[in-house]
């Protein structure tokens, strides 16, 4: 069988066992992502970030006459992301008529593209087809199982990873001037989608200096000039400094109290790190394998930045997407090497997939049950949106895609304003927004345990006179009452 090229074990029964294992793994992946794909064109909210991206996508393409980067001082709306993803989502959303759906489509396509690039990079780095099949399965299974909520979500991160991985695939096997220039453009594009993906650019920079100093200097010159040109261009386009101010000085709450949670997220990577350790040590001792050194640096830097970023509130498992990509490629290379016997291969395979195998009995039914419940809630969410659309007063939703689908204006970025308040910003702008000139209707949505409570904001909101109406098990509508109607 072609998949077993250069594989040391020739027994057909063992080939069948490996093929069966890979097939079962892909069946599980398809099971995990099928419901997410089926929910793309629904009005079921996945995460509070989806509506934020949708509203800003509208602003980017001019459907709403409001700045993409408002003044963060005293504002109720913030934008701490680079601008490119909003134009991509906005452009597709303009064509299909829904920004949330557009973002979900682009995210899914980028995830699939990243998966394909993992396979390609394993082969380009010297792996064989068996190793590439195992590496791509590891990536697909871990991301659809442990990072399930990010599959087909309106979030730009997978788009950024795809662009950077595409750049790496251009130069990992052959480095020329034209390839380095094209790769740098891919990395710059990724950075203009998500700015905090630093592990791979740094690892590639060091790797190029080890291989060819002239090409490394070209890489640096392209990267720095591209960033400066992009910043100058976008700053001129927005005619303000607010983009740089909000991205670089964003009021994110960072606390070491989150360190145990950050370290806990590393547990799933421990078996992969143990498997990778002997190969990486061997590569460091052999100065000839500079690609393996680069991959090792990529993995270590991704762990460092993942832990650091996880100290910020609102940061989830997406901080470790780079870690998963790095270990998926390394694992593919490990399984591309000849192993001394069948037992060694099986032990390594079980170790690589141990986090999934050890938790599947408990977690998989919960994931599938949750997706099944979402499928049954389609009409419920449509009814909620219809009710909100009929509301005559201004409406503010803490899960903003609900207000987006109801055709309401964007009035409050709950999460980022909550972060600003916790960093000392005044509550007065919110107080004015919900009481004057017309009392607003607030919509409180609970979609999962991971959904932030925004406790401080809701305490202030509910301190005003109000009436509460339950629209569904997930949604409460809170109608603010003017002070003169208090009696």
Domain coordinates in residue numbering, the chain: 2-364, 378-485
Q: Is the pLDDT of residue 9 over 60?
A: no
Q: How far is CA 143 from CA 33, 52, 125, 146, in A?
A: 10, 23, 22, 6
Q: Which residue has the higher pLDDT, 439 or 303?
A: 303
Comparing 97-101, 165-169, 225-229, which segment has the lowest mean pLDDT?
A: 225-229
When pLDDT is cut at 50, 70 and 90, the band that residue 371 belongs to is confident
pLDDT of residue 238: 77
Q: Give the best-scoring range by mean pLDDT among 17-31, 103-117, 401-415.
A: 103-117
pLDDT of residue 145: 94
Q: Which residue has the higher pLDDT, 184 or 482?
A: 184
Q: Count CB neighbours of 48 within 10 A.
A: 23
Q: In the chain, what are the helix, strand and coil shares in percent, each to the nearest 5?
A: 65, 5, 30
Round to whole Å and give the CA distance between 425 and 415: 13
When pLDDT is cut at 50, 70 and 90, the band that residue 37 belongs to is very high
Comparing 66-75, 174-183, 185-194, 206-215, which segment has the lowest mean pLDDT?
A: 66-75
pLDDT of residue 447: 65
Q: Which residue has the higher pLDDT, 247 or 210?
A: 210
Give the mean model confidence (pLDDT) for residues 109-132: 96
Q: Is the pLDDT of residue 484 over 80?
A: no
pLDDT by residue (tens digit) across 276-310? 888 777 766 665 678 888 999 999 999 999 999 99
Q: Report the predicted TM-score, pTM, of the whole model to 2 decimal places.
A: 0.92
Query: What φ, ψ does residue 48 adopt, rounded to 5°?
Result: -60, -20
pLDDT by residue (tens digit) across 184-200? 999 999 999 999 999 99
| Longest alpha-carbon distance in the chain | 85
Q: Enumerate residues 6+ apart whose C-beta is below 8 A from 49.
A: 153, 154, 155, 415
Do 329 and 295 form a contact (C-beta atoms < 8 A)?
Answer: yes
When pLDDT is cut at 50, 70 and 90, the band that residue 8 belongs to is low
Give the mean model confidence (pLDDT) for residues 247-275: 88
Q: Is the pLDDT of residue 462 over 50?
A: yes
Cis check: omega of the bond before 384, within 30 degrees of 0: no
333-370 CB burial, b ≥16 within 10 A, e <16: bbbbeebeeeeebeebbebbbbbbeeeeeeeeeebeee
């Amino acid at each position: 069988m072609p998949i077993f090229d250069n594989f040391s074990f020739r027994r057909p029964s063992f080939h069948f066992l490996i093929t069966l294992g890979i097939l079962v793994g892909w069946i599980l992946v398809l099971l995990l992502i099928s419901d997410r794909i089926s929910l793309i064109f629904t009005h079921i909210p996945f995460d509070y970030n989806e509506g934020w991206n949708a509203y800003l996508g509208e602003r980017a393409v001019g459907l709403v006459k409001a700045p993409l980067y408002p003044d963060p001082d005293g504002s109720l709306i913030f934008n701490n992301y680079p601008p490119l993803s909003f134009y991509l989502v906005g452009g597709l959303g303009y064509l299909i008529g829904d920004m949330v759906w557009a973002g979900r489509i682009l995210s899914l396509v980028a995830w699939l593209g990243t998966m394909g690039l993992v396979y390609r990079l394993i082969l380009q780095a010297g792996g064989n087809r068996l190793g590439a099949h195992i590496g791509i399965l590891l990536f697909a299974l871990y991301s659809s199982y442990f990072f399930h909520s990010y599959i087909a979500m309106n979030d730009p991160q997978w788009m950024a990873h795809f662009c950077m991985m595409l750049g790496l695939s251009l130069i990992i096997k052959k480095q020329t001037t034209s390839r380095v220039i094209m790769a740098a453009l891919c990395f710059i594009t990724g950075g203009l989608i998500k700015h905090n993906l630093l592990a791979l650019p740094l690892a590639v920079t060091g790797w190029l200096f080890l291989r060819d100093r002239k090409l490394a200097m070209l890489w640096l010159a392209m990267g720095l000039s591209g960033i400066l040109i992009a910043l100058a261009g976008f700053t001129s386009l927005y005619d303000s400094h607010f983009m740089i101010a909000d991205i670089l000085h964003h009021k994110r709450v960072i606390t070491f109290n989150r360190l145990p949670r950050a370290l806990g997220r590393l547990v799933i990577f421990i078996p992969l790190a143990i498997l990778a350790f002997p190969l990486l040590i061997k590569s460091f001792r052999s100065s000839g394998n500079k690609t393996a050194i680069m991959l090792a640096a990529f993995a270590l830097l991704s762990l460092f930045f993942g832990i650091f970023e996880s100290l910020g509130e609102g940061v989830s498992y997406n901080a470790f997407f780079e870690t998963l990509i790095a270990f998926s490629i390394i694992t593919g290379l490990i399984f591309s090497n000849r192993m001394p016997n069948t037992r060694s291969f099986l032990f390594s395979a079980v170790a690589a997939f141990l986090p999934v195998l050890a938790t599947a009995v408990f977690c998989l039914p919960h994931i599938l049950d949750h997706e099944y419940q979402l499928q049954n809630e389609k009409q419920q969410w449509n009814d909620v949106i219809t009710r909100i659309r009929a509301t005559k007063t201004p409406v503010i939703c803490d899960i903003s895609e609900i207000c987006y689908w109801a055709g309401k204006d964007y009035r409050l970025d709950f999460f980022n304003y909550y972060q600003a308040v916790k960093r000392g910003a005044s509550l007065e702008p919110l107080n004015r927004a919900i009481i004057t000139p017309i009392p607003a209707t607030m919509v409180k949505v609970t979609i999962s345990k991971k959904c932030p409570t925004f406790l401080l904001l809701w305490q202030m909101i509910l301190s005003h006179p109000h009436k509460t109406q339950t629209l569904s098990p997930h949604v409460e509508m809170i109608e603010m009452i003017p002070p003169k109607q208090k009696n």
